[in-house]
Amino acid sequence: MMNIRNIAIIAHVDHGKTTLVDKILHTARVFRDNQDTGDLIMDSNDLERERGITIFSKNAAVIYNDVKINVIDTPGHSDFGGEVERVLKMADGVILLVDAFEGPMPQTRFVLQKALQLNLKPIVVINKVDKPNCRPDEVHDAVFELFFNLDATEEQLDFPTFYGSGKNGWFNDSLTEREDILPLMDGILKYVPEPKVNEGPLQMQITSLDYSSFLGRIAVGKVTRGSIKESQPIALVQTDGSIKKSRVKELYVFEGMGKRKVTEVVAGDLCAVVGLEDFNIGDTICDAETPEALPVISVDEPTMSMLFSINTSPFFGKDGKFVTSRHLRDRLIKETEKNLALRVEDTDSADSFLVYGRGILHLGVLIETMRREGYELTVGQPQVLVKTVDGKKHEPYENLVVDVPADFSGKVIDLVTQRKGEMLVMESKGEMQHLEFDIPSRGLIGLRSQMLTNTAGEAVMAHRFNEYKPWKGIIPGRNNGVLISKNQATTTAYSIDKLQDRGSFFVDPGEEVYVGQIIAEHIKPGDLIVNATEGKKLTNMRASGSDDSVRIIPKIQMTLEECMEYIQDDECIEVTPKIIRLRKTLLNEEERKRQSKSMKA
């Protein structure tokens, strides 16, 4: 039987997890010497490559010194925490990666807490020691303090530490630079325990899903006891306790970046099972004769909801392939099968669905993925979930961490306190100020863009869900109103030029607009209906002054997440495969006036 080590790599976003996995794959010679692999091999999804973040956890396996190491690369954003929690179940040890300048960040704390609760053996790797101003020794002390605050056991506190630079391709157990990452590879073999194997018949929990258009849905997990064989009859114990009989068609183990077909997998190894029907994450695959379920995986609750509806604008169906409510419903239900932290509920209207997620990024990635697949939809303003505890309204609060140059710290504190945030910590880290706040989740919506504007793009902010606390009262929304298109036509440079002193435009000349579309931000509070489609009246008389060439400021380009943070409750976003437009929910001005009167009454 082969020696096995299962290890997950956890860290805050951008601390270098995927780069480290690249180095492990190269060290174990998974690729031929002349094979061009590029960087960030594990981030295979287009969205991941564009944003430079990991969204889906992935598996790879390498052989080093005759030991098989299963490596699990996990996401770093708290919005994908649901993904991290369940894949940690497959690991026996974790590599905690920490940036040598930033030190432990909120997300480091979140994933480390989960790993310590599962009693996984930690190895700390302090990455990016080649950065200027880095402080590896201070960071090491901060990591120790974090372990201590998270009630780590004596054994967990005695963690080995490695230093290095993933980008330059070296890791060592001291700060001496070298050519390779062999000390870290040896450390994995030395410190990560072999999988604990219990005696008894087969048990395997499904911790993630894979999909292949050829094989259908594939169950991935770790065999915790017994062994699983090809064509073996099994019992599938579902999370609600019901038991289904099934049969294993094919078995695969991970090898390099891909999978290899095998006839049997023994306890301790990770495998992919083909041929099961109607299974979900958290179900247990057991021996057909003696079905015993493993404890169900619990995933943190969603904290935010958004209304997804069909596209009702005058331009619907121009770009997308899937435009009906049935298409939308089927796609959302399919997403909940593999995206554990997502929930979908029907509403009073057959055309709209309430979608619950872990944050703006979590929902934004879903919308962006759907739009690339050819869906058209309208999404409303993100709303936080409110609970009633002892008859009082409670809302989610988050722990917000901001690192910013000292000159801008006053502006940051001012911005966060306006949004009902309370400062907990303020300390200097070199030339940067490190600020920590307790803030309602509502206060974070739209905060990032304002903060970057006020700090000349220097602020680095990170946040994670903390707990539900009493409602904090009204938080001021956007200060400025918007300019709304009066008619449906093509915008002209002549009209936009005349309106530029009224606001900043989201459209360029020559774009098609419709009644009720938001085309610019007003310079004052309150909305204004404008005509941006009027052409210049042509005469054969020349006039000095009116014939100056028009000078148009380029339009403001907003990403999907920025749009989600920008809109107010009477507005929504029209998302199609080619374009993202902002609009009023009610396009007709008379209807909007009627509704605002009835709201006041």
Pairing of strands 352-357, 460-470: unpaired
Query: Which of these, 348, 357, 349, 345, lies nearest to 325 by C-alpha position?
Result: 349
> Taking Cα atoms as reference points, which of 168, 200, 170 lies closest to residue 184?
170
Helix (H, G, I), strand (E, B) or coil at 218: strand
Query: Does the CA dihedral 16-13-159-134 come out positive or negative?
Result: positive
Which single residue is written with the structure tokens 């002549």?
494
As annotated, the binding site includes: 14-19, 127-130
**CA–CA separation, 467 and 77 (whole Å):** 18
Alpha carbons 349 and 343: distance in angstroms, whole number: 17
Beta bridge pairs of residue 531: none
Nearest CA-CA partner of 69 in 25, 115, 11 = 25
Terminal alpha carbon distance of the chain? 76
Q: How do 3-11 and 93-99 pair as beta strands? A: parallel
d(CA 10, CA 56): 13
Smallest Cα–Cα separation from 417: which of 472, 461, 458, 457?
Answer: 472
Binding residue numbers for GTP? 14-19, 127-130
Q: Quickly tell me which residue has 């579902």 as its tokens.
A: 238
Strands 580-584 and 352-357, by their bridges, are: unpaired
Which two tokens mark 520? 């610019």
Contact assessment for residue 365 and residue 560, using Cβ atoms and an 8 Å cutoff = no
Structure tokens at 487: 């008619």
Q: Are 88 and 120 in contact (CB under 8 A)?
A: yes
Task: State phi, psi for 30 to the nearest 5 degrees.
Answer: -75, -30
Amino acid at 473: G
Per-residue b/e over 150-181, b at no fewer than 16 CB within 10 Å?
Answer: eebeeebeebebbbbbbeebbbbeeeeeeeeb
Select from 464, 70, 118 the least CA-distant residue to 257: 70
Q: Residue 140's closest CA among 178, 108, 98?
A: 98
Q: Helix or strand or coil: residue 587? A: coil
